[in-house]
Amino acid sequence: MQRTSLEFFMAVGMGVDSNFTRPRDTDFSVVISGEDCAPCQQLTQPLQKVQDDMPPGVSKAMTGPGLTVLYRSENIGMDPAAHNVTLAWVNARPEPRKHYKYYIFINSS
């Protein structure tokens, strides 16, 4: 992971930094392979841990308004597998599914 790239995206793209405005009508899903992501602690502090059954490939999930952080237990399949985990998460949610016009997938490097 390119830590500076992720920190920049969190501040500017996601509006985590108080100097930038959070995009409206945008939901973010951050997929972490493994258990350790120091910059992500800033994201996960206000989130709640999900107790539901997890879709395949997800070991832990935390959610809040407009943000989901998904943890993968293994980094198998690289970026396409992480993107698939996001789509599986969206499809597995019990609450009414939002109808997204676009999905945009990026990685931190």
The pLDDT of residue 61 is 92
Token output for 7:
């920190």
Task: Give the integer Cα–Cα distance in Å for 70 and 5.
Answer: 19
Claim: this prediction has a pTM higher than 0.95: no
Task: Give the integer Cα–Cα distance in Å for 54 and 60.
Answer: 7
pLDDT in tens, the chain (109 residues): 578 888 888 888 888 877 777 788 888 889 988 777 888 888 888 889 988 888 888 889 999 888 899 998 777 787 888 888 888 888 887 776 677 788 888 876 5
